[in-house]
Amino acid sequence: MENKSWYLKMLAWRELHINQRQFILILSFVVGLFAAVAAFLLKSAIHLIHHLLTEGFSRYHVNYWYLVLPAIGILITYLFVVYIVKDDINHGVTRILYAISQRKSILKLHNVWTSLVGSSITIGFGGSVGAEAPIVLTGSAIGSNLGKFFKMDQKTLMLLVGCGAAGAIGGIFKAPIAGLVFTLEVLMLDMTLTAIVPLLISSVTATALSYFLSGSSFTFQFSNYEPFTISRIPYLILLGIICGLVSLYFTRGMNWLESFFRKFKNPYTKLAVGGVTLSLLIFLFPPLYGEGYDTIVALLNGQSASVLDRSFFLELGDSLWVLITYLVLIIILKILASTATTSAGGVGGIFAPSLFIGCLTGFVVSRLFNYFGFFVPEENFALAGMSGLMSGVMHAPLTGIFLIAELTGGYNLFMTLMIVSTISYLTIILFEPHSLYAMRLAQKGELLTHHKDKAVLTLLKMENVIETDLTELLPKMTLGELVKIISQSKRNIFPVVNPDTRILMGVVLLDEVRNIMFCPEYYQRFTVQKLMVSPPATINENLAMEKVMEIFEDSGAWNLPVVDNQNRYIGFVSKSKIFNSYRHVLVHFSDE
C-alpha cells in the first residue's frame, strides 16, 4: 500500500510541476538512453557468442560444425520462447504496427528483454536473420511501458513507441536520421512537426551514447568513393529496376515460404525441418551464417575472393563465373535460410537479410557491367544495391538512402543512393502496395496508414460503436404486444431473436407496421414472425471498421445488426454512432 501511495504522489507531483510537453521531451531522452544500452547489449552478445563458436574455424577448409550449430541455436531459442517467454516474439516490426493500430500502442513488458535474449542466441549460433527488428521491438516496448508507467494517453504512447523505434535504429546503426525516417516511413506514424522533436531527441541520444559505448567507427568501413557522374545514371536506373524485382522476389518468396512452414502443425517437425534446412544451407554457403555483415564488408573493400572461404566453391578457384554463380545462389537461397530460421523457432528480422541481398545484388550487377565493358565502381554499386533492396522490401526509400549513407559515412554518395532507391521503390509498388512488414496486417484491415481517413477508421473499434439498448422481440409476439413495446421505445427498429439459440431471425421496422399498428382488429391476427423482414446486411463483430463502412455504403442502410460467427445477435451499429466516434477519434488523433 505504501508503494502505491508513493507512486500516486510521484504522478501528482509530476503533473503539478512538469507540463505534458516538457515531460514528453524528458521521456524521449530517457527512451533514447535505454534503447542505446539495449542495442549495445544485443550487438555485444551476438558478437561474443559468434566469436566463441567460430574462433578456431579455418578459412580454407569446409567446416562441419555448420551442420549442427545453427540447429542448436534455433532449438535453444525455441525452448526459451516456449517455456520461459510463453508468447510469440517474432516479426518484431509487424508486432509494433499491430500494437499501434489495434492495442492502443501497448506492448507487453517482457518485450523489453525477451527479444534481446532470443535473437542473441539465434544469430550468434548462425541463424540467418538480423538483430534490427528485435531491437526495434525492444526499443518500442521500452517507450510503451515507460509511457504506461507514467499514465500517458494513447497518442503519447504512440509517440513514445516511435521514440523507442527511432532510438533503437539510431543506437544499433549509429544512424540518427535513419532512425527518424524509419519511424515515419515504416511505422507510418502520422506525426506533425512538433511530434518529430521527441523522435529526434531519442534518435540522437541513442546514437551519441552508442558512439560512447562502442567507439566512432562506422558499421561498414568504406573509403573507396567514386564521385557521381551523369554518364552513370542509366546503369543506376537499371540497378534500381533489378533491386525492385529482387525486392519483389524477396517479399513474395518469404510470404510463400512462411505459408509453407505454417503447414507443419507439429512444432517439433517444423523445428527439425527448419533446423536441418538452415544448417545444410550454411554448410554449403557459409556467408549465410548470421547477419552476413562480414561478407558485406569484404565486398565493399575489394576482397570479393574471401567470400568463397570455407565453401566447396573455393576449390573451383575465384574466376568471375564461379564467384557470380556462388553469389547468385546465395541471393536466391537467403530468403529460404531466413524463413527457415524464424519459422522453426528462431528470433530475428529481415533488416540484415535485405542489406545482405542488396549488397550482393549490387556487386553482381556491377561486376557483370564491368565484364561487358560498361565500367562502373563495384563498391559504390554494392552500397546502392543495399539502399535499393531496403527501399523495395520495406517500402521506405528515405530510410534506405539515409541508413546506407550513415552506415558507411558515404554522404557523398547521396545522388547514387537516391536514384537506385527511388527506382527500386517505384518498381515494387507496381506489384506490391505494402511492405513485407505491413502486408499481414493490411490483409486483415488492421494497418494504420498515412491516409487519415483509413487511419482513423483503423483506430475505431467495433466494441465502441455497438448499441445494445434495442428491445429484442420474440417471433411469437402479437402485434398488440409489439404496439406496447413501440409506445415505450425511442427506437424505430427492433431485432427479432430466437429465445433458445440467440440467432437473429430478422428485424421489425416501425415504418413497416405504422399503417396497421392503430388497427386493434389486427392485434391478435398478426405476429412478429409475419411482420419481420430480413435486414439488408449483417455485420460480423470481428470485421474491420473500413469493411463495415463498405457494407453500409453497399447496402444503403443506416442501421445494421451485429452478429458473432454463429450468427447470434449481439447488437446494432449505426452510421450516426460511427460518425460521432470518428469525429472524436479524428480530433484526438490530430490534436496538438
The answer to whether residue 493 sits within a structural domain is yes
Q: 27 and 160: one domain?
A: yes
Which of 278-287, 372-381, 477-486 is least confident? 477-486
Q: How does pLDDT run across 480-534, given as a tens digit for each residue?
A: 888 888 888 877 888 888 888 888 888 888 877 777 877 887 778 888 888 888 8
Q: 266 and 210: one domain?
A: no
N residues, the chain: 592
The answer to whether residue 400 sits within a structural domain is yes
φ, ψ for residue 559 (rounded to 5)? -130, 135
Paired sense of beta strands 539-540 and 569-574, if any? unpaired
Is there a contact between 158 and 144 (Cβ–Cβ < 8 Å)?
no
Is there a contact between 452 and 271 (Cβ–Cβ < 8 Å)?
no
Q: How does pLDDT run across 548-580, given as a tens digit for each residue?
A: 777 877 877 878 888 888 888 888 888 767 766
Distance of CA 480 to the CA centre of its chain: 57
Q: 433 and 468: one domain?
A: no
Check residue 407 and give its pLDDT. Answer: 83
- Distance, in Å, from the CA atom of 272 to the CA atom of 521, rounded to the nearest integer, reads 76
Paired sense of beta strands 539-540 and 559-563, if any? parallel
Check residue 276 and give its pLDDT. Answer: 93
Check residue 189 and give its pLDDT. Answer: 61
Q: 461 and 443: one domain?
A: no
The answer to whether residue 109 sits within a structural domain is yes
Check residue 466 and give its pLDDT. Answer: 81
**End-to-end CA, the chain:** 36
pLDDT band at 451 (very low <50, low <70, confident <90, very high): very low
The enclosing domain of 68 has a CATH number of 1.10.3080.10
The yes-or-no verdict on residue 75 having pLDDT over 70 is yes
Q: 368 and 396: one domain?
A: yes
- Smallest CA-to-CA distance from 455 within 577, 592, 589 is with 589
**Location of C-alpha cell 499481414:** 440
Grid cell listed for 564: 458473432
The answer to whether residue 13 sits within a structural domain is yes
The enclosing domain of 547 has a CATH number of 3.10.580.10
CA neighbours closer than 13 Å in the CB half-sphere of residue 580: 8
Q: 21 and 113: one domain?
A: yes
Q: 48 and 154: one domain?
A: yes
Angle at 80 between CA 77 and CA 85, to 5 degrees: 125
Q: How does pLDDT run across 106-165, given as a tens digit for each residue?
A: 888 998 999 999 999 999 999 999 888 899 999 999 999 999 898 888 788 888 999 999
Q: 145 and 291: one domain?
A: no
Q: 327 and 430: one domain?
A: yes
Is there a contact between 479 and 501 (Cβ–Cβ < 8 Å)?
no
Three state DSSP letters for 358-381 = HHHHHHHHHHHHHHCCCCCCHHHH
Q: Domain tally for the chain?
A: 3
- Distance, in Å, from the CA atom of 542 to the CA atom of 311, rounded to the nearest integer, reads 51
Helices assigned H by DSSP within 263-350: 267-284, 293-300, 320-344
The answer to whether residue 223 sits within a structural domain is no
Three state DSSP letters for 291-316 = CCHHHHHHHHCCCHHHHHCCCHHHHH
Tell which of 449, 469, 501 closes a domain. Answer: 449
Those residues with Cβ within 8 angstroms of residue 276's Cβ, 6 or more apart along the chain or in another chain = 71
Grid cell listed for 90: 517474432
- Distance, in Å, from the CA atom of 305 to the CA atom of 317, rounded to the nearest integer, reads 9
Which of 138-147, 194-203, 323-332 is least confident? 194-203
For 339-356, b/e burial (b = at least 16 CB within 10 A) is bbbbbbbbbbbbbbbbbb
Q: 343 and 485: one domain?
A: no
Q: 384 and 480: one domain?
A: no
Signed CA dihedral, 108, 112, 116, 117: sign only: negative
**Location of C-alpha cell 527506382:** 423
Q: 416 and 298: one domain?
A: yes
Is there a contact between 406 and 176 (Cβ–Cβ < 8 Å)?
yes
Signed CA dihedral, 529, 534, 540, 544: sign only: negative
Check residue 307 and give its pLDDT. Answer: 86
The answer to whether residue 221 sits within a structural domain is no
Q: The whole model's pTM is what?
A: 0.77
Tell which of 184, 214, 244 closes a domain. Answer: 214
- Smallest CA-to-CA distance from 287 within 18, 63, 1 is with 63
Q: Which residue segment(s) compose the domain that 538 sits in?
A: 456-590
- Smallest CA-to-CA distance from 293 within 344, 225, 354 is with 354
Secondary structure letter of residue 111 according to DSSP: G
Check residue 19 and give its pLDDT. Answer: 84
Signed CA dihedral, 485, 490, 496, 497: sign only: negative
The answer to whether residue 576 sits within a structural domain is yes
Percent of the chain with pLDDT over 70: 89
Tell which of 449, 464, 495 closes a domain. Answer: 449
Check residue 465 and give its pLDDT. Answer: 77
φ, ψ for residue 496 (rounded to 5)? -105, 120
Better pLDDT: 515 or 282: 282
CA neighbours closer than 13 Å in the CB half-sphere of residue 510: 13
- Distance, in Å, from the CA atom of 581 to the CA atom of 585, rounded to the nearest integer, reads 6
The answer to whether residue 220 sits within a structural domain is no
- Smallest CA-to-CA distance from 393 within 260, 256, 246, 183 is with 246
